[in-house]
Amino acid sequence: MKKTIVSVFLMLLVGCSGEVGNKVTNFDRVCNAFEALSKDSKLNELSGGDRDLFIFHEIRDLDAKSNAKQGLVVVRYVVPVEERYVMFKTAVDSIEHGDWSCLAMKELAPTLDIVYIEEEGASNVTFPEPVSLEDADF
């Protein structure tokens, strides 16, 4: 099951990407949001939901179709909290062919609770149609 989720996650990110030169910058922007949260003087007072809103406020101007934002949204809704960072890092490493890391995200991602928000441009994100194994073209 875990391998299936990873595979689907990676296919969505790679298949829906329109980015070429700014992927690293956008992934780093996500990391920067977590770093800003880790340095916030009120961190210990913030609920998990408020932490989630803080992160999305920090990356609000990222394109909803960017790999970084889509990846964070998918990880947030699909992946168990204790695996969010590893899944996001795996996707970034796969896309970037590198070894991306973000200590602040590793520490704080499990402490975020999902807050459902309507993002501008989010309704324009399209995902590939699912294909059953019998219809798959191997």
pLDDT digit string, tens, across residues 43-102: 999 999 999 999 999 999 999 889 999 999 888 888 888 899 999 999 999 988 889 999
Q: Does 103 fall in a domain?
A: yes
Q: Does 73 fall in a domain?
A: yes
> What predicted TM-score, i.e. pTM, was given to this entire model?
0.69
Q: Does 131 fall in a domain?
A: no
Q: Residue 108, class by beta-carbon neighbours within 10 Å (0-12 exposed, 13-18 middle, 19+ buried)?
A: buried
> What's the structural domain count of the chain?
1
Domain containing 72 equals 2-14+22-120
Q: Does 127 fall in a domain?
A: no
Q: Does 108 fall in a domain?
A: yes
Q: How confident is the model at residue 106 (pLDDT cuts 50, 70, 90)?
A: very high
